[in-house]
Amino acid sequence: MKSIYYAHSLKIYNTLQEQLELKQISSLFPSWNIINPNGVINDIKEAFSLIDKVDGVVASEHQRHIGRGVYDEICYALKKKKFVAVLRDGRLFHVYSEYQIGVLDIDWVYYAKVYEGVLTPSLRKCLITERTKAKYQYPGCGVLEEISDTAKEFLRSVGKIQLLEELLGE
């Protein structure tokens, strides 16, 4: 049987939000076993050990942020090439890499924001700049051809070029 690790803030433990999210995850993954770390783990090493044994991670947010522990769990799962998704407003979106996570480092509870989609704001700004430069150098080309070779190489290195091609239909 497949299993999924439910990464969530300690602020959500033993709340109605936790109960509702567990029901949502159960309905989204009906035949999967859900591993809830609440009352099961004592530290991040134990969380990593559980993540090693599951097929994926579903993370939830506390007030549209993830804490340091959830951030570490997501990054660990991504490094282990596990499926990672974030539950937001009753639906899931896939997290493909750490580049979708903007670290704010305000404190341990509001440590980072997870961005839905391919590009974080800083990467999007970089690509817009590169596309603008490329438009002048290569007029009349498709969107991907407008992005400079450096930006394309960067996207390949972080595994985004195929996803970008799919989204842009090129």
Domain that holds residue 98: 3-114
pTM of the model: 0.70
The pLDDT confidence band at residue 146, using thresholds 50, 70 and 90, is very low
Q: Which residue, of 114, 135, 159, is where some domain finishes? A: 114
Same domain? For 97 and 125 the reply is: no
* Strands 83-88 and 101-103, bridge-based pairing: unpaired
Sign of CA dihedral 41, 43, 49, 52: positive
User: Please, which residues have CB within 8 angstroms of residue 99's CB and are 6 or more apart in sequence?
Assistant: 119, 120, 123, 158, 160
Q: 98 burial class (0-12, 13-18, 19+ CB within 10 angstroms)?
A: middle
Nearest Cα to Cα of residue 37 among 17, 20, 59: 59
Domain count for the chain, please give it.
Answer: 2
Same domain? For 126 and 85 the reply is: no
Same domain? For 29 and 92 the reply is: yes
Q: 87-126 pLDDT, tens per residue?
A: 998 888 888 888 788 888 778 888 888 888 655 555 556 5
Give CA separation, 126 vs 28, 88, 119, 129, in Å: 35, 27, 10, 5
Q: 50-85 pLDDT, tens per residue?
A: 999 999 999 999 988 999 999 999 999 999 999 999
Please, which contacts does 127-133 make with residues 24 or more away whose CB atoms are closer than 8 Å?
127/151
Q: Are 55 and 82 within 8 A, CB to CB?
A: yes
